[in-house]
Structure 1
Amino acid sequence: MKNLKYWILSIMGFVVLSCSDEVSEIEPAGNPVMEIEEQFTDVHFGDILPFTVTVSDDISLSTLTAVLYFGEEEVERTTIRTKENGTYSGTIEVPFEKDIPDGTATLEFILLNTTLKSTVQSFDVPITRAQYPYLILVSDNASYPMLPTGVANEYAATEAFPSTDLSAYIKTPVVDDKGTEIVFGWEAGAVTNGVSTNIPFVSSVAGTYSVTFNTKTYAAAPFFEIVLNGQKMNMVDKENYQLDITLTQGEDISIEGLGNIAEWWIDADYLTKQEDGLYTFVPMSGKYRIYANLTLQYFRIEALDGNSPAVLNADGTGAVWIIGDNVGKPSLAEKTVGWNTDNALCMAPIGDKKYQVTLVGGENISTDGINFKFFHQKGWGGEFGGTAISTGSDIVFIGDGTNGRDSGNLGLVSGVTLEEGATYVFTVDVSAGNDQAVLTVTKK
């Protein structure tokens, strides 16, 4: 049997080698020829560009491929199966993207026969951004024409809009038989093409105002602007803005654009108010993500590692997060954390591997009972269980799974209630190790 196995394997190897030799002996042959009607004029970004090619050869043909290049970069490709000599028609899409200047693209045709012999023909194709007679601003209740403003690629609709908030997307007309309708909507906090999600326009004035849009740069207005230390915060939606920024402990932070900033709730763990719109940064120096919520009138601040929420590192640096019930910022009524990890609170890193959160009884923390815990990240994973954290507090206790709280969850000591309006500072110290954390709770 063993000899038979080796004999079979040797025969298989011979067959494979024979087949390989046979394939390698195929020589390109034939004479593929193509005639292409020149029709590549008045081309715009976003067009569906048609082509017609007559092909022939004295042996069987295989495929006709059209490839569009912007400079050296291939941006689109389409392939047609050519079963026999004759005339073939197809289309190739011209991409419509932000900030691409007018210029000359290369359209290359490759005709291939069954012996892999090919012929190639290329055309220079001037491509421009269409100058539309108008755009259309489409809201849920009405549509408005956007007319050229005289600035290159810019259009505007000036109307007595029903509200300062206008949710709408934008679309183009079809300008010729090659053209397509291009739509512009809102995605990932910016205007982009290819989606029709409403753009959250917001005007600072009521009544008649202008909505503008540039089909090249995608610059749009009006939007509400918040400027932090000279940097414009990025609009996530009409209620939320954010900015990733490196800050230094003790640094002055200026906030402009909020006429009602005196009414905003300021998180004492991160900001000390000097005057309305001017604050001092409290925690350790580092990179942070600052969210501004116009509805809650609250700046939520989170420590970052690169572009991601920071985690508690093995050496005790990084971040500690709070998830659970009976705690919330700017208030329990407006934003209780709960067990939704998206709502996790980032404790302020105050140095020496210590992390702090300041809570006011009846406002940010329930007075008659608590049930939250500390985590290594903004989400499930590493956490401070009952054996990893201890406290000598006479205000709170740490659950062990048998004392009325799950392991690591906090509760109020029996007979204790928090004072309404009193301030409580919770500090987690991991300087002795992440599995030997110490919690202190101080009433101020």
Structure 2
Amino acid sequence: MNLKKLKYWMFASVISFGVLSCSDDVKEPQQGGNPTMQIEDQFANVHFGDLLPFEVSVSDNLPLSTLTAILYFGEEEVSKTIIRTKENGKYSGTVAVPYGKNIPDGAATLKFTLINTTMKKVSQEVTVPVTRAPYPYLILVTADASYPMLPTGQPNEYAATESFPSTELPAYIKTPVVDSKGREIIFGWDEGEGGITEGATTDISFVSREGGVYSVTFNARTFEASPFFELVLNEKKMEMINKENYQLDINLETGDEIVLEGLTDWWVDPDFFAREDDKVTFIATDGKYRIIANPNLNYLKVEAMTGNDLATLQPDGTGAIWIIGDNIGKPSVAENAVGWNTDKAICMVAIGDKKYQMTVVGGETISTEDINFKFFHQKGWGGEFSNETLTTKSDLVFVGAKEDPGPGNSVRDPGNLGLYKGKKLKEGNTYLFTVDVSAGIDKAVLTVEER
């Protein structure tokens, strides 16, 4: 063995000996002691939403560490409380019982675990029947007054019947505290959830079709409530997704008559609908669409779908093209400009042969002095058209580029549309923006036609 190998062997041996020596020094902690606990029986009349009190007597001949109380619904842990147990004696605390939507009455499990400083532990489980409280009333709270909501006789349903000051009644709902374990539960509107949620304090937008005396109802288990502004499209009820918008995913065919109950004199998007007297007809291609109704704007927004998802532009040119950016909006740019808010993106109508179109009116749905929007592959950030994938021969509208490729004033973010210097759209005139991707989505052609 040469000297270099000998040194390496000796070094490795020393390391191995050191590791073995250290390993010999590491010992598992020895558990000891005899932790015991006695749980007071105090788990009657427990309701969802309670702060459930408990009291446990603990002891050991070695120092104790912690007492943990965990509440389970089935096998799911829903609440936990940890108490530091410094010495033998009686300890008390509370564990929160979730309120929750649509949780049926049933038996929960409350598990107590006592651990001493050697990590020896003992556990004990208690079955806790939990029911929804039979509140004698709920409280409807508006900015100016509160109204009692009394049981209607239907399970968990309450109603306030009054001569309310308006057909529009923003309000939230709260429960009374029924016993020493109970707490006040508040129900309000959650924009993210798109509905009534426990713990939210934003007002619920109740709306009655008729003024005077009417009833506001609420189900304390299902969170169903009324009255709301209802919209029905072709005999299908639209879902309220927030205070301003209602939504329905529906299959439509070219020529289908559109019957909308709840909105009168609504703005008809000429890309998707045609109106003749009181009759409105769907004129886009057959397919599945998401219809979003905004009663404040009297507007039906139409978005193409593929299955249960919004459509996107596919490599073969099928799907959808979306518009995001400034100086454009439906039913008017003044009331509802898209801007760079992807939630407000406009879906172009597919007109066949891998072409997509949008109709706008100068001074109404598009600004006349300037435009600054672009075309995207989806309703959101991601794939988009630039000056390298989109061209136009229009002498009115240019496709922006980092360097000026046209007759002046066309330098801007690649793909953003603009009006050439000295050009503007005519007030009241109609313009058709068409994107043709039949030669490939990287060889798109924009045409702008004035009518």
Q: Distance in 2 between matches of 1:218 and 1:379?
A: 32
Equivalent pairs counted in the alignment come to 437
Q: Alignment RMSD, CA only? A: 2.8
In structure 2, C-alpha distance between the alignment counterparts of 1:375 and 1:7, rounded to whole Å? 65
Which TM-score applies when normalising by structure 2? 0.87
Partner of 2:242: 237
The one-letter code sitting in structure 1 at the alignment partner of 2:226 is A
User: Relative to structure 1, is the Cα distance of residues 409 and 194 closer, same or farther in structure 2, using a 3 angstrom cutoff?
Assistant: closer
Aligned equivalents of 1:190, 1:320: Cα separation in 2: 30
Distance 1:363 1:31, change over 3 A: same
TM-score, length of structure 1 as denominator length? 0.88
Decide whether aligned partners of structure 1 residues 284 and 393 sit closer, same or farther in structure 2, where only a CA change above 3 A counts: farther
- For structure 1, the residue ranges without an aligned partner over 5 or more in a row are none
Q: Note the C-alpha offset of 1:56.
A: 1.6
Q: For residue 392 of structure 2, what is the aligned residue in structure 1?
A: 391
In the TM superposition, residue 145 of structure 1 has moved relative to its aligned partner by 1.2
CA distance in 2, matches of 1:441, 1:395: 8
Distance 1:332 1:189 in 2: 26
Following superposition, the deviation at residue 361 of structure 1 comes to 3.4
- The range that moved more, 55-64 or 196-205, is 55-64
More off after superposition, 330-339 vs 220-229? 330-339
Shift of 1:96: 0.2
Partner Cα distance (2:313, 2:15) in 1: 57
Q: Distance in 1 between matches of 2:309 and 2:10?
A: 61
- Residues in 2 aligned to 1:270 and 1:64: alpha-carbon distance in whole angstroms: 65
Give the secondary structure class of the aligned counterpart of 1:18.
helix
Task: Give the whole-Å Cα distance in 1 for the aligned partners of 2:118 and 2:37.
Answer: 17
- In 1, Cα distance between equivalents of 2:77 and 2:222: 22
Aligned letter for 1:184?
F
Offset, 1:171: 0.6
Query: Which residue of structure 1 aligns with residue 299 of structure 2?
Result: 298
| Other-structure match for 1:98 | 101
Given that 1:324 and 1:339 are in contact with CA atoms closer than 8 Å, whether structure 2 keeps it comes out as yes
Does 2:254 match 1:250?
yes
> Using a 3 Å threshold, how does the CA distance of structure 1 residues 412 and 194 change in structure 2: closer, same or farther?
closer
- Does residue 196 of the first structure (1) align with residue 197 of the second (2)? no
Question: Which of 150, 154, 171 matches 2:153?
Answer: 150
Q: 2:19 matched to 1:10?
A: no
Given the superposition, is the C-alpha separation of residues 303 and 42 from structure 1 closer, same or farther in structure 2, using an over 3 Å criterion?
A: same
Q: Gapped runs of 5+ residues in structure 2?
A: 1-6
Contact between 1:164 and 1:204, CA under 8 Å: does it hold in 2? yes
1:85 aligns with 2:83: no
Are residues 306 and 56 of structure 1, via their aligned partners in 2, closer, same or farther at CA, if it must alter by over 3 Å? farther
Partner of 1:38, secondary structure, is coil
| Structure 1 residues 215 and 19: CA distance shift in structure 2, 3 A | farther
Matched, 1:224 2:249: no
- 1:212 maps to which of 195, 214, 217: 217
Give the AA of the match of 1:10.
S
2:162 — aligned with what?
A: 159
Alignment of structure 1 residues 233-382 onto 2, 5 Å: 233-243=238-248, 245-250=249-254, 252=256, 254-260=258-264, 263-273=265-275, 276=278, 279-280=281-282, 282-286=284-288, 288-304=289-305, 309-367=310-368, 369-382=370-383
**TM superposition shift of 1:382:** 3.5
Q: 1:222 to 1:88 in 2, by over 3 A?
A: same
1: CA distance, partners of 2:308 / 2:11: 58
Q: Is the 8 A contact 2:247 2:291 kept in 1?
A: yes
Return the letter of the residue paired with 1:285.
G
> Partners in 2 of 1:335 and 1:442 — Cα distance?
24
**Distance (Å, rounded) in 1 between the aligned partners of 2:307 and 2:14:** 59
Partner of 1:432 in structure 2?
439
Is the contact made by 2:273 and 2:280 (CA closer than 8 Å) also made in structure 1?
no
- Tell me by how many angstroms 1:358 deviates: 1.3
Overall identity of the aligned pairs, in %: 58
Q: CA deviation at 1:19?
A: 4.5
Identify if the C-alpha distance between structure 1 residues 369 and 121 changes in structure 2 by more than 3 Å, giving closer, same or farther.
closer
**Residue deviations 1:269-308, cap 9 Å, x none?**
223346747532513524x332211111111122346666
Provide the C-alpha distance between the structure 1 equivalents of 2:273 and 2:397, rounded to a whole number of angstroms. Answer: 26
CA distance 1:326–1:114, shift in 2 (3 Å): closer
Q: Deviations over 1:394-418 (max 9, x none)?
A: 5534344423123434345677665
Work out whether residues 284 and 350 of structure 1, in 8 Å CA contact, stay in contact via their aligned partners in 2: no
Aligned pair in 2 of structure 1 residues 358, 58: CA closer, same or farther (>3 Å)? same
Decide which moves more: 341-350 or 247-256.
247-256
3-state SS of the aligned residue for 1:384? coil
User: In 1, distance between residues paired with 2:125 and 2:145?
Assistant: 46
Q: How far apart are 1:198 and its partner, in Å?
A: 0.7
